[in-house]
Structure 1
């Protein structure tokens, strides 16, 4: 196989997983996001990179957002929302974050493959994205599958962009109105 064939295989895998996304879960996610006074986002590894891209677009939409752990992140309060991206829902640092948020009366929404995970049980909302967690590396004979959770991480990025498109429609935003909030000191 070559790069072109691998790319086509990746896109097919993501398409097969995308049709399994539950719109009701996504709508609940959007509702919670829109009600939040401030939105904190966090993920680890490549899921963390995807959620940082989502935070950036939420900022462009006019939401008050922070990446957890950044020095400019404000104190969390009731009415705020923590969005965690974790395929397994078991990453130790993210479990600790979810527990601390719940103890602070801050709602948690989890984007995951495992709604029954520790974080999933703590969360007030869950958006399930199909895929394979990094510990499940057994490929079925003749089946295309990416290793180590790549399909989940890629689907996160695409789903976050799909949520942004839905928010743009709901909020009457355009690329031009969002660009007015884009960083000008880069």
Structure 2
């Protein structure tokens, strides 16, 4: 397959998937982010890589973000939000961390594909990215890409879209974002 064919398939799948994401669910996530003192992120594998990018971008907006497991991770409190990325909603580490966050009183937002997953017991907010995961029901957007690439791609773009919506709703001047950019590079 040529690059042009492959990229066309990838872009087509991403577009179809993001078109199927609920505006109301994303609005609830955006509100939860805006209302939280700190926003913690947890995921595993490539999902974690996408979430780290989302955390970094929201940090540029002045949101106090933390990736779970960082050596400088502070305590989570009831004033905070934990964003869990897990397509299946069954990943053991994110499930355990979500349960712990809820026991402390923090709010939990789950971005995933399966609204009936074990994570549903912990989530205050759910954003469905309707793609196939390792536990597909058959009603999701299908993909020719390996494994859960489509979920990870859409997770990153959903995060960038949330950031853009927050910039707009909070009237943030784009030029001012540079004050939060790393400067030791």
Q: TM-score range by the shorter chain?
A: over 0.9
TM-score by length of 2: 0.93
| Structure 2 residue aligned with 1:177 | 176
CA distance in 2, matches of 1:49, 1:144: 20
Residue 102 (structure 1) aligned with residue 111 (structure 2): no
Residue 33 (structure 1) aligned with residue 19 (structure 2): no
CA distance in 2, matches of 1:54, 1:31: 16
CA distance in 2, matches of 1:10, 1:115: 24
RMSD: 1.5
Describe the superposition over 1:72-124 as per-residue Cα deviations: whole angstroms up to 9, x where unpaired: 11111111100011111111011100110011111100000012111122100
Matches within 5 A, 1:116-155: 116-134=116-134, 145-155=144-154
Structure 1: stretches of 5+ with no match in the other structure: none
Structure 2: stretches of 5+ with no match in the other structure: none
Contact 2:113 2:133 in 1 (8 A): yes
Aligned-partner SS, 2:180: coil
TM-score by length of 1: 0.93
Aligned-partner SS, 1:56: helix
Contact 1:115 1:121 in 2 (8 A): no
| Structure 2 residue aligned with 1:82 | 82
Shift of the alpha carbon at 1:134? 4.0
CA distance in 1, matches of 2:21, 2:155: 11
Shift of the alpha carbon at 1:175? 2.6
Contact 1:51 1:157 in 2 (8 A): yes
